[in-house]
Structure 1
């Protein structure tokens, strides 16, 4: 059954709420509450009926019921003041008063052309990981400091909400657990989330320590923890800084956790989202074979759903990384196809920050004449989510390659501050090495490139910096050794082939690479 009211559709079989064609994220209990009220719209539903239908007869506080009602109103565009659709009847209960039409449940037809109806960026099969931020515990012994602890959780909720890859539970739901000792598994079930962030605030004079723990609700396992120390002279600025760092660290942690979880899960039939997660796990391995396997997974995902924007952007990004590494040999038609796919992903999901930076990298790497458009797209990604360490790193990389070293360095530095323990730290070190190379600071370039290679010996960008730096410093034997490693990664690598596929906006850099690679023994 599908219930239609105003421009909304509540699909009972699929447990989806949509406004026109857009999927609205709602928590399971909020969906159940809406369904109960709509099905009983000819009368007032009492508090006891709600408890029985939504909470299985378990007693919960008035605040919990009120928070779910508020969340339901927000989801359908109503408010407690207006009560246009959900009306509270004092001392009696609640009633749904909107006009409802019933439609038989049928599978919607795909639009015949992309111009008739734009596909959604958030699709039902995505099952985005859900996270709830619990109220932070005030460990200061001063009840008046509760405001700071609550404000800390609020800031983190706001920062996490900017990530397009997460469903974040609203404050009015997660804060119903304030002051209560509840098992994380129970909270996960009640809120319908796989992850919780909990923490504490301890104040000592004018200093404060904030701790945070990310927990997987199903197993009760800790995935991430960190502590932050700061000065309370500017409490609001401190809250913002901590929230940004927490959000930047949690996003990639959850992505890896989801990929590993789905990789272990045995499913009779995989869908596009499963394949995307498998591809993400393979991309993180960063080997020639894993990247080829990732491309295959993404192609399968798009065969299932041709309008799946995350898979489009990931496939284009993966092809661009393969181009930089010399893996999965591609011709001009392949590159043009990747660029077209990247732009299509942005067209489908214009407000998805991750899709924007992935597409931007692919367009810059393989679009040849579209470098400025790629930079503009990076700017949009950072406008949507300024806390994405990956977006900052890739945007900084491109600015550096275009000669804007100061701006590029500041972006990469911010990425490192936001997530200093990022498992992809080899990328930030490699980009910093490129910055030193552009500045002709060869000792620094060598040191930073070695740091990148210590984390990932297969990173060709860092190996090429090693070659250039050693030649410039007169260490030809070491440069030749690095070329040997490059040829192990890409046996058919040549100077001309490298320069033809890697964008080099600075002519001086192109000449430097050509000269030093030849001197180190790389074939023309």
Structure 2
């Protein structure tokens, strides 16, 4: 569907605003506001409704709405004085007043994207993966099962819609299908989605049994499945667990699937999204050459689509690694690049948890832990099940000296993402939090798990040296020191404490002495 008004056209399916043939750079929230006002142009739209639509009912200030309205007006060459498109009815709300042409499908030259098109062209119209969540099947006639069959998918739609990198079909469309009476080919054709989440609910006595599957619509391949069971009395707990686990599966399994597809394409045919995911595959390997490949991929994705917020955020992540891991000789260049890319991601999509996460992490590099806490808190507020956001908050709290909070957040992150590529860091954060409370023997056990986990890097080995020494295990500490120096002979305490700026001077001195006893000056 394309809405045309004056010199402008808003393509609903592609989420693009154009002035003539030129693409207008506009924030996603501004586009969402314009679209909502157009679709409800026959009435006044109140402020509370806009908060629900734009922020899913989350508590934000009136100033945030005012900023969004200004951005929307600026995008369509309107203003608070002119009010040629968006009219303010003071104290009540907004109305769309610009003359609208009869909405219809795009012309051939504009690449139609309505549902009457062939499925491949419809799916190709969006660079983002797309997901339909269907109401679950009911096994048996129990009323509780019938309620859960719609309540849980509804909550999943609301939760996953907060993940700004994936398109989620609204309930009004996806709930026209049932898992058992609509095959994936039909769902792909009708809804234009690459992925589909289905499930079933069954009552066995007083036990609730819920099965969930995530599949590709192109070939029906199941990329994730799980079965949950609990007493009926604990249905709220199982509901929260399902939401958390499905979000984890979406965040982990869909990117893996997208990257696998990208590898099958010739380089000249890799699109923006595939390029981005190839970069992600290298991003989570803490190796200098892999990090360089990730930077190259993200820069390529940005060159193809400068408005792709997540690519800017991921580029910030990669530059963060360059500075944090002390790759190269000019750390300041990497620090500035991490901050700049994060800021650009925030400009493009301030509501994406991943952009907020990387903005927070970029502040670690300049020792602004208070600023980092604010941005990381925003990331997990936008997506409460964002495991890496919880881990980053855990690390920040722990280094700041709030060991109890750090350990709790670290445990929450591991529970949400038990196979996360940053699992070693979650384990290491827990180890440090225990060490700060002089629980050295426990800390040594946890850092062993961290240092032996996949992806663990040389800085984790340095922590293993210190915590084993502090636990009275000099042999184990010496063994880790040997492995550390084989991997990174040039490590110094200055480098270590630049990456881990502990606020507690007593603890910092204790760790420094432990490192010094094993040749790390």
Q: When the two structures are superposed, what TM-score results if normalisation uses the length of structure 2?
A: 0.76
Specify the SS of the correspondent of 1:268: helix
Specify the SS of the correspondent of 1:177: coil
Match of 2:88 in 1: none
Question: Structure 2 matches for 1:101-140, cutoff 5 A?
Answer: 127-140=127-140
Distance 2:130 2:459 in 1: 35
Q: Name the stretch that deviates more: 443-452 or 414-423.
A: 414-423
Match of 2:222 in 1: 222
Match of 2:413 in 1: 415
Distance 2:459 2:475 in 1: 19
Match of 1:383 in 2: 381
Q: 1:301 to 1:520 in 2, by over 3 A?
A: same
Deviation at 1:150, TM superposition (A): 0.9
| Contact map agreement 1:16 1:23 (CA 8 A) in 2 | no
Specify the SS of the correspondent of 1:162: coil
| Contact map agreement 2:394 2:407 (CA 8 A) in 1 | yes
Deviation at 1:353, TM superposition (A): 0.8
Give unmatched runs, 5+ long, in structure 2. Answer: 19-23, 46-98, 111-123
Match of 1:161 in 2: 161
Distance 1:281 1:491 in 2: 27
Match of 1:430 in 2: 428
Q: 1:186 to 1:466 in 2, by over 3 A?
A: same
After superposition, what is the alpha-carbon deviation per residue over 1:359-383, rounded to whole angstroms, capped at 9, x for unaligned?
A: 211221x123x22111100111111
Q: 1:507 to 1:309 in 2, by over 3 A?
A: farther
| Contact map agreement 1:437 1:465 (CA 8 A) in 2 | no
Match of 2:495 in 1: 497
Distance 1:143 1:516 in 2: 62
Match of 2:191 in 1: 191
Distance 2:156 2:435 in 1: 37
| Contact map agreement 1:446 1:469 (CA 8 A) in 2 | yes
Q: When the two structures are superposed, what TM-score results if normalisation uses the length of structure 1?
A: 0.76
Distance 2:146 2:484 in 1: 56
Q: CA RMSD of the aligned region, Å?
A: 3.5
Say how many residue pairs are matched: 446
Match of 1:367 in 2: 366
Q: 1:367 to 1:311 in 2, by over 3 A?
A: farther
Q: Is 1:513 matched up with 2:511?
A: yes
After superposition, what is the alpha-carbon deviation per residue over 1:247-284, rounded to whole angstroms, capped at 9, x for unaligned?
A: 13321221222222223322425454333222101113
Distance 1:484 1:322 in 2: 24
Distance 2:140 2:464 in 1: 51
Distance 2:333 2:140 in 1: 62
Specify the SS of the correspondent of 2:39: coil
After superposition, what is the alpha-carbon deviation per residue over 1:430-471, rounded to whole angstroms, capped at 9, x for unaligned?
A: 221221222222222222122223322633343122111221
Match of 2:39 in 1: 78
Q: Is 1:18 matched up with 2:17?
A: yes
After superposition, what is the alpha-carbon deviation per residue over 1:299-345, rounded to whole angstroms, capped at 9, x for unaligned?
A: 33344455543222212212223333343444223323322332332
Match of 1:486 in 2: 484
Specify the SS of the correspondent of 2:181: coil
Deviation at 1:395, TM superposition (A): 1.0
Give unmatched runs, 5+ long, in structure 1. Answer: 26-72, 85-96, 108-123
Distance 2:212 2:397 in 1: 33
| Contact map agreement 1:136 1:200 (CA 8 A) in 2 | yes
Match of 2:51 in 1: none
| Contact map agreement 1:125 1:273 (CA 8 A) in 2 | no
Higher relative contact order (CA 8 A, sep 6+): 1
Deviation at 1:354, TM superposition (A): 0.9
Match of 1:273 in 2: 273
Deviation at 1:195, TM superposition (A): 0.9
Q: 1:80 to 1:333 in 2, by over 3 A?
A: closer
Specify the SS of the correspondent of 2:341: helix
| Contact map agreement 2:425 2:456 (CA 8 A) in 1 | no
Distance 2:143 2:473 in 1: 64
Distance 1:512 1:126 in 2: 54
